[in-house]
Amino acid sequence: MTALSRRGMLLGGAAAGAGFAALTACTPRPDEQLEDALLDVGSDTVPFFGEHQAGIATKPQAFATFAALTLRDDADADAIRRMLQVLTDDASRLTQGRGALADTEPELAVTPARLTVTLGFGPALVRRVAGASAVPTWLKPLPAFGIDELEDRWTGGDLLLHVAADDQVTVAHAVRMLLKTARATAVPTWRQSGFRRSRGSEEPGTTMRNLFGQVDGTVNLRPGDDDFASGVWSEEGWLKGGTSCVLRRIRMDLDGWDRLDTPGRDQAMGRRQSDGAPLTGEHEFDEPDFEAMGPHGFPVIPDFSHIARARGDDPRPTMLRRSYNYDDDTVGARDGEITDAGLLFLAYQRDVDEGFVPVQRRLDELDLLNQWTTPVGSAVFAIPPGCQEGGFIGDTLF
C-alpha cells in the first residue's frame, strides 16, 4: 500500500476544506434564517379587495385597535359616501405597505405586517344612507343584561374602524391616518386597543389565553369548517357577504382571581386552566361530558360553570370569536386595584339575535365566572361585504 505523501495530504485537505467552505457558504446560518423570518413578518400582506372584508376570517394578528366614531349632524348620504370612498382608498394602500394618498409619514407604512382594516356601520349610519328599512332587525343595542355595568365612554358608535396587524407601530399609524380622513364627517367616540401573543411566539393554531390564564376560544367557528360560511356570512340584501359584530369590553377582576385556587378556577370555567381540557377529558378539544358524575354524586362539570352555561341545545358553535386582551394600567381601575385589564370580546355571526344573544342570556343567568368579570362597554355593528377595485366598502348600501 502506497503511503500518502505530505503534499497529497495537504492538497486533499485543502480541497476538502474548500468544499466544506463552499457548502457552508450556501447554507444559511440560524441567525440569518431568523432574520429572514422576522423580515417576512414585517413584509407580509393580506389582500384588501375581495368578496368579504379582511380581518374577520383572517388569522388574528398580534395587535388591534377598535375606534368608534359618531357622525356629525350635517353628514348626509353624499358626505358619508365620500368618506367611505377615501377610507377605502387609504386602507387599500396601507394594507399593501404603501402610504395613504395624503400620508404625511409614508415611512411608517412600509411595514404592513399583515395589516387589515375592517369597517363597520352602526344603525344611525345605515338610516342616514338608505333609510330605516335598510337597518337589519338585530342592528341595535343589545338587551339589558343583569351583569352589565356599561359606561358611555365604551358604548355605541356610528362607524367602526377595526385595524389589526402584527406590528403595533403599523396599527397606530393606520388608525391615525384613517381618523384624519374621517374627521370632516365623523368624530371619535371611543378607542380601545388589545393584544395577543406575538406572531411566532407559539405554535400556529394555538388557542389564545386571556389574562386570567384561561384558554379562550376553544369552541369556535373556524374558517374552512362546514358551518363557518352559514354561521358568519349574511345572505340578506345589501349586507350579503358581510356579517355582524358584537364588541364587548369586559373588565376582569385580576386581583380577585389571584385569590382563587386552581381547583376553584377549573370549576368556574369547567376546564383545566393548565391545558384547556374539559374536566371530563384529557385534551383541549375533547367533547365535554355534562352528564358525568363525581364520587359524591355531583356533576364533574358544574352546572354553573362557564362552558355549561354557554352550551345550548345544539352543541355546535354559533359565532366566530376573535377577542383581544387589554391592559390599560390604572386609567379605569377601581379602588384598591392595580390595573384596569380585561378582554375585548368580539363575536361575528350572521344574526346577533340568533348567535350572541342566546348565549349571553344563559351566561347572565348563572355563570360563576360573572363574579370576576364585568361588561363595561358594548356595541353592535353591521360589517358590510368586501369590495372590488373601483368600488368602496359599503357601496352596496347606496
> Is 126 in contact with 86 (CB distance < 8 Å)?
no
Residue 99: alpha-carbon gap to chain centroid: 24
For residues 294 and 157, what is the distance between their CA atoms, to the nearest angstrom?
48
Q: In this structure, what C-alpha cell is assigned to residue 117?
A: 382594516
> Is 100 in contact with 48 (CB distance < 8 Å)?
no
Q: Residue 178: which residues within 8 A CB-CB, separation 6 or more?
A: 67, 87, 90, 91, 117, 161, 163
3-state SS string for the chain: CCCCCHHHHHHHHHHHHHHHHHHHHHCCCHHHHHHHHHHHHHHCCCCCCCCCCCCCCCCCCCEEEEEEEEECCCCCHHHHHHHHHHHHHHHHHHCCCCCCCCCCCHHHHCCCCCCEEEEEECHHHHHHHHCHHHCCCCCCCCCCCCCCCCCHHHCCCCEEEEEEECCHHHHHHHHHHHHHHHCCCEEEEEEEEEECCCCCCCCCCCCCECCCCCECCCCCCCCCCCCHHHHHCCCCHHHCCCEEEEEEEEEECHHHHHCCCHHHHHHHHCECCCCCCECCCCCCCCCCCCCCECCCCCECCCCCCHHHHHCCCCCCCCCEECCEEEECCCCCCCCCCCCCEEEEEEEEECCCCCCHHHHHHHHHHHCHHHHCEEEEEEEEEEECCCCCCCCCCCHHHC
Active site residues: 216
